[in-house]
Structure 1
Amino acid sequence: MKPSLQLRLSQQLALTPQLQQSIKLLQLSTLELNQEIERILLENPMLEREGGDEESDGPVPVEAGEASVATAGEEYRIESSASSSSGDEDFESPGVTDMPDNIGEAYDSVSDDDIGEAAEWRTEGASRNGGGDDDDSDFQEFQAAATSLRDHLLGQVALMPLVDRDRALVQLIIEALDDDGLLLQDLEELLPLIPAEWEVELDELNIALHQVQNLDPAGIGARNLQECLLLQIRALPESATREHAMLIADGNLELLAARDFARLKRRLGCNDDALRAAQELICHLNPRPGAQFAPMETRYVIPDVVVRKQRSGWTVSLNPEAMPRLRIHRVYADILQQNRGVSSSLSGQLQEAKWLIKNVQQRFDTILRVSQAIVERQRQFFDHGEVAMRPLTLREIAEELELHESTVSRVTTQKYMASPRGVFELKYFFGSHVSTDTGGACSATAIRALIRQLVAAEDGKKPLSDARIAELLGQQGIVVARRTIAKYRESLNIPPVSQRKSI
């Protein structure tokens, strides 16, 4: 082996900080984007939200048309595409200096594998909001505290005429209930939790359990589904339907689940109308009586684009509520202009602020272009609904817009579109396809919609089997295997034919 010098030529994509930031912002959702901006606002004094000293924890509304960026001595203005008329134009920011012109092209050529560790960015403090004043009030402090199941039951126990010993046993059983209000532990398992000097026997625990089962809501303290239904039925006024429902719940639930109505009528000695009424009563019972007291977290979606119907057709525009209004801090920019070369850190932060403003606009411009292409391909969906959805892949959109497929994937993830037909994630419009007799293709979403329509219109006494549904779709020119129908039916939460049979 001899030491030698070799000269090689190779091409390599360098992930510069601005390119990394552009890729990161592109794949963030609206909520994550605002959290990231809030973090950068705390770290970079050269950047501020447009609108003065107003604090904001979420998306700040912007005026439709444009968002301005001002610095000392010069005016930077970023034009935002508000309609589909300018969606195909490349984004430019003439006022921002020293900015790479090919950021959009660069991240279009970056795939998920190319990012690697270089695309990892700090996320410390991303969950913090932009407010720092002690006088700021948290909205959650004003929310009324929801009553828990435990508090609801203990409030009733406090009104019961019980001695301290019995009250303690009732409270012990209440503490053992799960979130659904059911007692999944055996009473024998609760005995070791009671002080030995109390000398509590199993019969006393059964009495305490009976007292819990008499509390509101009905069904609390049940040890299984059958007991839960029986407790709720016993709480109803006496009637023939109540008696039939009790007989079904007490040992005949398997026949009801199997839709064996003939055997049920023989055991109950009733006709179709009586059995139908008892079945409807049982279906309206709650197998999880305590779930209504469980805390529920409501999550809201802020659409990134809005689709509207106009005379010229369907148009796409960015949602102003989702676009943050950012600008350069004028005071710090004045200081930097008057003292050039004094603070290199401020110069770097000014450049970073310009990068962020352009990258944010580049993000929304790319989202708008992809959304326009989707709406153009799926016009029939917006006109006629799911049955008119056409098959679409990420590659088709990527080739049409001359973007990388991974870029389209990032754009369509956790980005939402508001339309007259509802709010949809952009990925909703992509899906597999099934061949037709004419040599074309039918979207899987359209096939699911057709299956839903066929099941909704079927005769309850003779529901359609998967093979029959495949046959009906074949008559419409859509070739679908029975196993594919079963898979689509399960994805729609439609039970099999044996469970859809009615009286």
Structure 2
Amino acid sequence: MNFGLNLIQEQKLIMTQEMQMSVKLLQMSAYELGQYVNKEMQENPVLEEKDLQNTRSNSNEANDYKEAKDYKEIIKYLEKDDYKVKNHSSKAENEEVSPFYYIAQEKSLKDYLMEQIGELTEKPEILDICKYMVENLDTKGYLSAELSDICKELRISNEVAEDALKILQSLDPQGIGARNLKECLKIQLYNLGNNDENIYKIIEEYLELLAENKYNVIAKELKITITHVQKYVDIIKTLEPKPSRGFYTGETVKYIVPDAYINKINDQYFISMNEDVLPKLNINSLYKEIINSGKDAEAVEYVKDKINSAMFLIKSIEQRKNTVYRVLEEILEVQKEYFDDGDQYLKPMTLKRIANNLEMHESTISRAIREKYVSVNSGKIIKIKDLFTNGITSVIGGEDISTINIKSAIKEMVDHEEQKKPLSDQIISNRLNIEGMNISRRTVAKYREELGIKSSSKRKRF
């Protein structure tokens, strides 16, 4: 082993911080980008919302800023375009009040239960225990805490806790306060006045067999007919396994905001980007005084750094918009028949095909369509990623058939099958092959599972 000093020359592609941020912005959804921009506006004092009267585009601003090497030149652009500091007070007076301002806050499940508890005439001590239990409900509406733990924490007897739990479980919605699925279903049956021992026994002992459609085993164990078992199962299927359904439980709501609109005018499609997603960004002209004066060198450096950051954000947003627009333009070229006539005309389309046509990398296309939506003429919101599907070559005609169309054919067969004798995967495969869709039984099983359709044995009715 010896020590030595060597000089090596090599080429490397290093992702700069700006490149990483550009990639991050590209893959953000419209809602996520809006949140990010609002956060940047709070943290970067140089950024402000642009005056709506200003007609210059963000792309022109970004180019002007990029070309201006002297920061005092940037100030000239700001003065030339007559950027003005917005008078927020005057705007607030003339601004229309959104009707959403008057919408009442969504009532939560806990609020709904607390209101009911407040109307009861039980002892205050018991009602307080009920309220404590309400605070321990999970998102399904089940009591997540053990009754023994509640007794220890509140220093109460098990009998008192049981009484409070019974009161909680008597409230609306039915099944609330249950400690598991079986108890939830039993509470609902009891409230419906159903006293049949067999149905309670099915829930307690044979719920797993019920899920697997093994009615014959249940019938043999209970010594009843399969038809009777099926009637019990039909009743159980009407019960609610998640009592909190329909109530606000505090879970985050994910909003869908379309990035673009595709409208058909005179047999021609037009793509328009959603400009309302983001505020129009601008460099605050108040900071020109700091650059022009140059008295405080530290302050000038700080402002320069913030202006650089603001300019890059404006440029990246414009770049993101252009990329998404180009991708949509290419998709529209390929899927025109789909937009004209509906889902059955969706053609197989891959990321590679679009990437090759646009001379981009597949990863760029993947990021450009991630969590992005478009609104079409009818007001229908489409997830862009759903337009990308693989396909198989049809035996008849030799054209590619989209997997979505194959799944649609499978679903239609299952919807119209004889319930007493459901179609097996092999029979579905044979029928699809006759129609020119050459797929195997295993592929049928895969697509069926993706559609959430059970196997033929579990779909059978007696």
Which TM-score bucket, shorter chain as reference?
0.7 to 0.9
SS of the counterpart of 2:442?
Answer: helix
1:437 aligns with 2:432: no
Structure 1 match to 2:29 = 29
Of 243, 259, 273, the residue aligned with 1:318 is 273
The whole-number CA distance in structure 1 between the counterparts of 2:159 and 2:4 is 91
Of 90, 112, 121, the residue aligned with 1:160 is 121
More divergent stretch after superposition (172-181 vs 460-469) = 172-181
More divergent stretch after superposition (324-333 vs 425-434) = 324-333
**Are 1:433 and 1:442, in contact at CA under 8 Å, matched by a contact in 2?**
yes
SS of the counterpart of 1:68?
Answer: coil
Greater helix proportion: 2
Q: Structure 1 245/382 Cα, relative in aligned 2: closer, same or farther at 3 Å?
A: farther
Q: Map of 1:435-474 to 2, 5 A cutoff?
A: 435-437=393-395, 439-474=398-433
**Are 2:110 and 2:134, in contact at CA under 8 Å, matched by a contact in 1?**
no
Of 360, 368, 371, the residue aligned with 1:411 is 368
**By how many angstroms is 1:179 displaced?**
4.1
Ranges in structure 2 where 5+ consecutive residues have no aligned partner: 70-87
Q: Structure 1 337/458 Cα, relative in aligned 2: closer, same or farther at 3 Å?
A: farther
The whole-number CA distance in structure 1 between the counterparts of 2:232 and 2:353 is 54
**Are 1:181 and 1:289, in contact at CA under 8 Å, matched by a contact in 2?**
yes
Deviations 1:358-396 (A, max 9, x none): 332222111101111012112232234333322222221
Of 417, 428, 431, the residue aligned with 2:386 is 428
**By how many angstroms is 1:320 displaced?**
2.2
1:390 aligns with 2:347: yes
TM-score using structure 1 length:
0.68
The whole-number CA distance in structure 1 between the counterparts of 2:286 and 2:180 is 68
**Are 1:150 and 1:174, in contact at CA under 8 Å, matched by a contact in 2?**
no
Structure 2 match to 1:119 = none
Of 165, 183, 188, the residue aligned with 1:232 is 188
Say how many residue pairs are matched. Answer: 431
**Are 1:25 and 1:363, in contact at CA under 8 Å, matched by a contact in 2?**
yes
Q: Structure 1 450/337 Cα, relative in aligned 2: closer, same or farther at 3 Å?
A: farther
1:218 aligns with 2:174: yes
Of 212, 223, 237, the residue aligned with 1:283 is 237
**By how many angstroms is 1:489 displaced?**
1.6
Structure 1 match to 2:55 = 68
The whole-number CA distance in structure 2 between the counterparts of 1:217 and 1:285 is 12
More divergent stretch after superposition (354-363 vs 463-472) = 354-363
1:367 aligns with 2:324: yes
Structure 1 match to 2:81 = none
Q: Map of 1:115-154 to 2, 5 A cutoff?
A: 144=105, 146-149=107-110, 152=113
Structure 2 match to 1:481 = 440
The whole-number CA distance in structure 2 between the counterparts of 1:192 and 1:15 is 57
Q: Structure 1 346/456 Cα, relative in aligned 2: closer, same or farther at 3 Å?
A: same
Deviations 1:211-260 (A, max 9, x none): 44333333234344343323212322679xx8986686576656654546
Read off the aligned partner of 1:33 and give its amino acid letter: L
Deviations 1:410-434 (A, max 9, x none): 2111222222473233222223333
Deviations 1:262-282 (A, max 9, x none): 78889797997x987765443
Q: Structure 1 338/457 Cα, relative in aligned 2: closer, same or farther at 3 Å?
A: farther
The whole-number CA distance in structure 2 between the counterparts of 1:5 and 1:230 is 78
Read off the aligned partner of 1:415 and give its amino acid letter: K
Read off the aligned partner of 1:453 and give its amino acid letter: E
**Are 1:48 and 1:326, in contact at CA under 8 Å, matched by a contact in 2?**
yes
TM-score using structure 2 length:
0.73
Structure 2 match to 1:500 = 459
Structure 1 match to 2:333 = 376
Read off the aligned partner of 1:432 and give its amino acid letter: N
Read off the aligned partner of 2:37 and give its amino acid letter: I
The whole-number CA distance in structure 2 between the counterparts of 1:423 and 1:363 is 20
Of 132, 137, 140, the residue aligned with 1:180 is 140
**By how many angstroms is 1:167 displaced?**
5.6
The whole-number CA distance in structure 2 between the counterparts of 1:341 and 1:204 is 72
The whole-number CA distance in structure 2 between the counterparts of 1:265 and 1:15 is 66
The whole-number CA distance in structure 1 between the counterparts of 2:293 and 2:129 is 78
Q: Map of 1:102-117 to 2, 5 A cutoff?
A: none
The whole-number CA distance in structure 1 between the counterparts of 2:103 and 2:142 is 32
SS of the counterpart of 1:303?
Answer: coil
More divergent stretch after superposition (220-229 vs 310-319) = 220-229
The whole-number CA distance in structure 1 between the counterparts of 2:20 and 2:203 is 61
Structure 2 match to 1:58 = none
Deviations 1:291-336 (A, max 9, x none): 5542343321111111122333333221222254233444545875
Q: Map of 1:223-302 to 2, 5 A cutoff?
A: 223-236=179-192, 249=203, 256-259=210-213, 279-293=233-247, 294-302=249-257
More divergent stretch after superposition (248-257 vs 487-496) = 248-257
SS of the counterpart of 1:495?
Answer: coil
The whole-number CA distance in structure 1 between the counterparts of 2:394 and 2:215 is 40
SS of the counterpart of 2:348?
Answer: coil
For the aligned residues, what is the CA RMSD? 4.7
